[in-house]
């Protein structure tokens, strides 16, 4: 089945093949134009006779077009210019050059006899050398054009991936905000705030400040692809403060962030996604407190680790949170997250990037 990318490629290379064929035959075009002009000045009838020179021009131009088009199609399968996930290695480039030379030699041998029928010049080795040189020149142009086409397709692919990432990031941030602002979350927050206002006004003020910071960060993160670990941890302090109003000491969050990594970058809401995932899938009670450790490593990465204690009635999940997070890191940073699960622990290691 012909793919859309191949159809696009075929249309482009067909036009390029015509351009290449006409370009290398440009001296012959000029020669024909001046010869027609000379015949007209002598009282002849230019453009009315299909002379052998015209026939040779059309035949050789057609041959150059065929050679170029065949080379383009062959290199499509070798260099894969429309596949942005494949890598062009030195071996593949050498293979493309070798096969191009072999195929051009075969085509030259078969097509030279056709060209000779309409060639009015005396036969000779020089004429054959000229014919072969022209087609080898076409082959060199083709390989160069294929590599350029590959760069163009890769640039378009990167742009599409960026737009897809941006759209998924916005969707993920929206879902995160929606979860935080769910009626249940707001009801618990306002109930806790009401109690605090009555019993501990100082804590109520801190609670409102934390809620305001969490909401502001969530909204502003839509405008950024990466934030510093310092910014992410400041948000997490506010977020954990709000969550602890519900779980109290049954939720234990330990931080061990080295100062040297605080200016490293990561996608916004990364840690919040992992903490939320741990809270969603594990029991949190006085009998079985949930412990979440957030710490940096010497490998320029951050680890979020929690003990596993599944709920009796576990909430159904889509599994998109970690999948989207992995995809974001792959595109934005060029590295993937590492997920490790044992009988007792669930560990996610995320790479950090320097500014």
pLDDT digits (tens, 9 = 90+) for 96-106: 878 877 777 77
219 contacts 177 by C-beta, under 8 angstroms: yes
**In the 8-state DSSP scheme, what is residue 315?**
P
Q: Whose CA is closest to 335, among 351, 319, 321, 354?
A: 351
pLDDT digits (tens, 9 = 90+) for 30-48: 776 766 555 555 555 554 4
Cα distance between residue 241 and residue 196, in whole Å? 14
Q: For residue 301, name the pLDDT band (cuts at 50, 70, 90).
A: very high
CA–CA distances in Å: residue 245 to residues 86, 172, 214, 235: 50, 25, 14, 16
* The domain over range 181-351 is classified in CATH as 3.30.565.10: yes
Listed by start position, the domains of the chain span 4-160, 181-351
- 90-99, 129-138, 234-243, 346-355, range with the lowest pLDDT: 129-138
CB atoms within 10 A of CB 44: 11
Higher confidence at residue 261 or residue 3? 261
Q: For residue 228, name the pLDDT band (cuts at 50, 70, 90).
A: very high
Q: Which residues have C-beta within 8 Å of that of residue 78, sequence separation ≥ 6?
A: 92, 95, 96, 99
Percentage of residues in the chain having pLDDT higher than 70: 75
Most distant pair of Cα atoms in the chain: their distance: 113
What tokens does 75 get? 């290199």
Residue 344, pLDDT > 80, answer yes
pLDDT digits (tens, 9 = 90+) for 281-293: 899 999 999 999 9
Beta bridge partner(s), residue 292: 253, 306
What b/e readout covers 7-21, taking b as 16+ CB neighbours within 10 angstroms? Answer: eebeebbeebbeebb
Residue 52, pLDDT > 70, answer no
- 33-42, 99-108, 228-237, 301-310, range with the lowest pLDDT: 33-42
Q: Whose CA is closest to 235, among 200, 280, 203, 266?
A: 266
294 contacts 266 by C-beta, under 8 angstroms: no
């Amino acid at each position: 089945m012909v793919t859309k990318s191949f159809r696009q490629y075929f249309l482009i290379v067909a036009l390029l093949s015509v351009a290449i064929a006409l370009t290398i035959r440009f001296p012959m075009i000029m020669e024909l134009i001046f010869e027609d002009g000379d015949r007209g000045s002598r009282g002849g009838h230019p453009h009315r006779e299909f002379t052998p020179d015209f026939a040779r021009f059309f035949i050789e131009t057609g041959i150059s077009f065929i050679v170029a088009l065949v080379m383009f199609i062959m290199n499509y399968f070798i260099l894969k210019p429309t596949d942005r996930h494949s890598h062009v290695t030195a071996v593949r480039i050498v293979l493309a050059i070798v096969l191009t030379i072999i195929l051009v030699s075969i085509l030259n041998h078969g097509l030279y006899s056709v060209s000779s029928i309409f060639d009015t010049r005396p036969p000779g080795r020089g004429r054959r050398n000229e014919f072969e040189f022209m087609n080898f020149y076409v082959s060199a142009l083709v390989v160069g054009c294929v590599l350029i086409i590959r760069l163009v397709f890769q640039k378009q692919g990167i742009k599409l991936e960026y737009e897809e990432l941006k759209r998924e990031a916005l969707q993920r941030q929206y879902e995160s905000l929606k979860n935080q602002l769910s009626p249940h979350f707001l009801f618990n927050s306002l109930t806790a705030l009401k109690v605090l206002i009555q019993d501990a006004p100082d804590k109520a003020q801190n609670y409102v400040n934390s809620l305001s910071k969490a909401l502001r960060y969530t909204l502003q993160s839509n405008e950024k692809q990466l934030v510093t670990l310092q910014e992410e941890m400041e948000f997490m302090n506010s977020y954990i403060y709000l969550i602890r109003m519900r779980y109290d000491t049954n939720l234990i969050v330990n931080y061990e962030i080295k100062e040297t990594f605080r200016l490293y970058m990561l996608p916004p809401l990364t840690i919040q996604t992992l903490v939320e995932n741990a809270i969603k899938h594990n029991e949190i009670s006085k009998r079985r407190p949930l412990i979440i450790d957030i710490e940096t490593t010497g490998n320029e990465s951050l680890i979020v680790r929690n003990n596993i204690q599944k709920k009796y009635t576990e909430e159904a999940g889509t599994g998109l949170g970690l999948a989207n997070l992995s995809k974001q890191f792959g595109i934005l940073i060029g590295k993937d997250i590492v997920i490790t699960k044992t009988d007792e622990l669930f560990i996610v290691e995320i790479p950090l990037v320097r500014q």
